[in-house]
């Protein structure tokens, strides 16, 4: 929060952004004066004097935990404590175009994968950067705000795996419950709703390239459609969690409105180290955390709800004695329950190496975008976006042609890795300096744009394990990208469809052409051959930040299940997991909307059990 007397330089420095983000100062100052003039949402209250016990303790104030806190406090008889490891948001996080600059800041856990042998080969030490939000609102504060629910077949598949109540017909009402869609052309759709806490709309401003992108899809035979309806295959201008041109995080949407509820307490900058579980009764009875360098333990009368995300939830479970027996024994942690925690790790991986040049100034180029113009657009017109304008879902030759269940998604952005003049983007991706210097530095002051194909339903599975029983040491994260060969074959075909999209007639008005400089590690291969595309995909492997599945939901007969269909941890009383960890299969699309839905449904399950 910018306060009187604290300048923009101090805010950027506190975020760790000053050196590379100095160009943002004019916009930051204008944003401050806008909020100083009218404060549309009051800040949540960081409660310093906590009660010794609450009915429910929620660990993690991210995309799911914020929702659960809101819904459980609807009952005035339920006392709720929400514990978040990071601080509150500020004016910088509100600006959509600053998304990239929030990564590697103090709002980010800044995780890295283990070294990969089949992906991330263009990254430093072959490790992909995995941003994770350490802030109220979680990764909904760092993401690019894209609102995609997934495919209806995803949820029907969850139900068919033995999870009643998670089929599409059952979960659609929970998507609608959250939503306040402000696009008039969707207002009467049975697949959208108004009046919910979460604002959804198109960005108020976008480039001409995204309209061409959608038209290019029709040239390829795909419809321009609402990809959040009953059919998904098609091209669309992206919908986002945007409110009046600003980011609408789950902290803003779900926590700020309940700040004055007397049965709600929020503890910020409180790092959870362990769930307290009685080893005899196998009941979770409290939470241990460190705040202001002081260890505290708060009791939970009814339940502990773990919503720390697909990386931190398994870490906390294992630190608490719930996890694979052999691993816990090796770490010297007393075993309370032997469960396959940390298995089934999935992520959406994209290929960031397709760069297209245009002759006209229709793309975003930081060095040719005057700060005053950006300030005017954001402050006066309340416009802005995170840089991702178009979404598409397409079918490769490996997709099931009898179902509307695409296997590749496109992210279209009117910029590329070079568009910020080398200030930050290549660093947040973790690219090797020599790869950036040879490949993208020559495009300095050149207008470019990108189509990034990403794999929707990977067959490869990774894992999360403890690196140490010290809770402040990050866990080990191995996505095991491309362990299954079909994942690579699907990505190669997806890249070919992306190239056909950019070659559509509609793009010729901008002089669009593929940047044909080969990636440094792939120069020995015929350009655009299958072998070259495979090398490129392995080199410029970009996470889409959709880690999931590490506390898998499933019936008792599923040996990989950690939680039951009511999200209760098997063998432990009074403990649930409500976040992306529970996904049996990652949804076909950006995960934020689905995680909010999981929070909505999970909260109802808790209410039903304690009614």
Chain-centre distance for alpha carbon 416: 20
**Contact status, residue 134 vs residue 107, Cβ threshold 8 Å:** yes
197 is in an annotated binding site: no
Distance CA 79, CA 422 (A): 49
Residues linked to residue 589 through DSSP beta bridges, in sequence order = none
Q: Measured between alpha carbons, how far apart are the two ends of the chain, in Å? A: 39
**Contact status, residue 268 vs residue 537, Cβ threshold 8 Å:** no
Please list, in sequence order, all residues whose beta carbon lies within 8 angstroms of the beta carbon of residue 173, skipping any fewer than 6 positions away: none
269 is in an annotated binding site: no
- Which tokens in the block code for residue 270? 């409180």
Catalytic residue among 78, 265, 411, 546: 546
CB atoms within 10 A of CB 511: 12
Nearest to 271 by CA among 414, 461, 473: 473
Instruction: Tell me the chain's radius of gyration from C-alpha atoms.
Output: 23
Residues linked to residue 287 through DSSP beta bridges, in sequence order = 275, 298
* Greatest alpha-carbon span in the chain: 71
Q: How many CA atoms lie within 13 A of 555 on its CB side?
A: 10
Nearest to 31 by CA among 194, 247, 223: 247
Cα angle: 562, vertex 563, 567; to 5 degrees: 155
DSSP state of 84: -
49 is in an annotated binding site: no
141 is in an annotated binding site: no
Distance CA 254, CA 269 (A): 19
168 is in an annotated binding site: no
587 is in an annotated binding site: no
Whole-Å CA distances, 200 to 186, 203, 368, 456 = 11, 9, 30, 22
Nearest to 349 by CA among 61, 121, 189, 582: 121
Is 546 a residue of the active site?
yes
The helix/strand count (H/E) of the chain reads as 18, 26
**Contact status, residue 246 vs residue 263, Cβ threshold 8 Å:** no
Distance CA 297, CA 288 (A): 4
Tell me the binding residues for FAD.
Answer: 135, 143-146, 272
* Positions marked catalytic: 546
């Amino acid at each position: 929060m910018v306060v009187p007397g604290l300048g923009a330089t101090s805010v950027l420095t506190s975020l760790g952004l000053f050196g590379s983000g100095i160009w943002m100062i004019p916009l930051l100052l204008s944003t401050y004066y806008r909020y100083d003039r009218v404060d549309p949402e009051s800040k949540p209250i960081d409660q310093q004097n906590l009660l010794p016990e609450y009915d429910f303790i929620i660990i993690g104030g991210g995309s799911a935990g914020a929702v659960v806190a809101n819904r459980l406090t609807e009952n005035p008889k339920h006392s709720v404590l929400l514990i978040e490891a990071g601080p509150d948001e500020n004016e910088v996080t509100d600006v959509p175009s600053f998304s990239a600059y929030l990564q590697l800041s103090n709002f980010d856990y800044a995780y890295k994968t283990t070294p990969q042998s089949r992906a991330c080969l263009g990254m430093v030490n072959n490790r992909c950067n995995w941003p994770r939000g350490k802030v109220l609102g979680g990764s909904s504060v760092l993401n690019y705000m894209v609102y995609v629910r997934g495919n209806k077949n995803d949820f029907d598949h969850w139900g068919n795996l033995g999870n009643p109540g998670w089929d599409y017909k059952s979960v659609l009402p929970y998507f609608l419950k959250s939503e306040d869609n402000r696009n008039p052309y969707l207002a009467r759709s049975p697949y959208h709703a108004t009046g919910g806490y979460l604002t959804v709309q198109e960005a108020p401003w976008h480039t001409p390239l995204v309209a061409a992108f959608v038209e290019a899809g029709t040239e390829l035979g795909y419809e321009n459609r609402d990809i959040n309806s009953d059919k998904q295959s098609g091209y669309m201008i992206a919908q986002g969690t945007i409110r009046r041109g600003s980011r609408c995080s789950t902290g803003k949407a779900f926590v700020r409105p309940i700040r004055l509820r007397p049965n709600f307490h929020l503890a910020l900058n409180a790092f959870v180290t362990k769930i307290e579980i009685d080893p005899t009764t196998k009941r979770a009875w409290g939470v241990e955390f460190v705040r202001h360098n002081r260890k505290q333990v708060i009791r939970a009368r009814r339940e502990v709800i773990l919503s720390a995300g697909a990386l931190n939830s398994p870490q906390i479970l294992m630190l608490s004695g719930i996890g694979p027996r052999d691993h816990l024994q090796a770490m010297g942690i007393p075993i309370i329950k032997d469960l396959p925690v940390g298995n089934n790790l999935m992520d959406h991986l994209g290929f960031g190496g397709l760069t297209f040049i245009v002759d006209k100034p229709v793309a975003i180029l930081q060095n040719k975008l005057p700060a005053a113009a950006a300030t005017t657009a954001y402050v006066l017109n309340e416009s802005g976006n995170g840089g991702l304008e178009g979404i598409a879902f397409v079918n490769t030759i490996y997709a099931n042609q009898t179902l509307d269940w695409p296997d590749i998604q496109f992210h279209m952005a009117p910029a590329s890795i070079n568009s910020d003049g080398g200030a930050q983007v290549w660093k947040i991706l973790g690219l090797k300096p020599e790869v950036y210097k040879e490949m993208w530095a020559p495009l300095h002051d050149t207008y470019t744009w990108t189509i990034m194909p990403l794999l929707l339903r990977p067959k490869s599975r990774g894992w999360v394990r403890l690196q140490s029983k010290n809770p402040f040491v990050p866990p080990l994260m191995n996505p095991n990208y491309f362990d299954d060969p079909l994942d690579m074959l699907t990505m190669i075909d997806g890249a070919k469809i992306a190239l056909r999209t950019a070659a559509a007639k509609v793009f010729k008005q901008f002089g669009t052409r593929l940047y044909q400089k080969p990636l440094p590690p792939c120069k020995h291969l015929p350009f655009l051959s299958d072998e070259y595309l495979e090398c490129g995909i392995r080199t410029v492997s970009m996470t889409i930040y959709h880690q999931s599945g590490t506390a898998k939901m499933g019936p008792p007969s599923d040996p990989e299940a950690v939680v039951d269909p009511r999200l209760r941890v098997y063998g432990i009383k009074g403990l649930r997991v409500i976040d992306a960890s529970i996904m049996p299969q990652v949804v076909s699309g950006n995960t934020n909307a689905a995680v909010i839905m999981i929070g909505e449904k999970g909260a109802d399950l808790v209410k039903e059990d304690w009614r």
